[in-house]
Amino acid sequence: MALTSPTNGLSDERLRVADEAPGFMPLDEALALHEAATSYLSQPDSVGIGVEIGTYCGKSTVFLGAAAEAHGALVVTVDHHRGSEEHQPGWEYHDTELVDSHSGLLDTAARFRRTMYDAGLESTVLGLLAPSTAAARVWGREVDFVFIDGGHSMEAAQNDYDGWSGWVRAGGALLIHDVFPDPNDGGRPPYEIYRQALDSGRFTEQSAHGSLRVLRRIR
């Protein structure tokens, strides 16, 4: 797959912006994410909206936004911007440059806005600053896809799945990141909700790209 083309929205500049944004998604998985978003947003019954749960600084959001822009669609990305468990002080992925001096807490909102500004996606990507559970309570319409890449505790992953998987339209997609069947490779909660989706009978696996799983809603 070509990294850039006149139609896929992934300019060299956007790839540079995504590369420089703090985050944890490898390029091959990000490109697969873009391809999946493009596929579902371009279907005849598309509703023109995709949702991302877990924004961080917007690395993966660039790829989703590029797909949406190319099809006149929107991406809503949901995050409280205080970081997940692994981003807190004393944990492996804590980044002191993202700590707000006023509150003393992690705050990734400004870095996310910078990423969207630099990528030219401020009119395509709508940032919803809220916990996933709170945002799910006020959501009210079907979407073409939901991409779950939020907190990796079992409680957080379960809340994301319970709150958002039901909004995927029939024929749409549930995308889950950091799915590791072997527990030696990574945490289990994303794998657990992936299994729940398959066992529910509502979703069937369409493809796998590294730790990214693409599930199509069948009923």
Q: What angle do CA 27, 108, 41 make, to 5 degrees?
A: 50
CA–CA separation, 86 and 94 (whole Å): 7
Angle between helices 189-199 and 154-164 (to 10 degrees): 30
The residue among 10, 41, 70 whose CA lies nearest residue 168 is: 41
The single residue of 81, 152, 177, 209 carrying the catalytic annotation is 152
Give catalytic status of residue 152 as yes or no: yes
How is residue 145 written in tokens?
């896809």
Buried b (16+ CB within 10 A) or exposed e, 136-166: beebeeebbbbbbbbbbeeebbebbbebbbe
- Cβ atoms of residues 68 and 118 within 8 Å: no
- Sequence-separated (6 or more) residues with CB below 8 Å from residue 126: 74, 75, 76, 77
Report, as residue numbers or ranges, the catalytic residues.
152
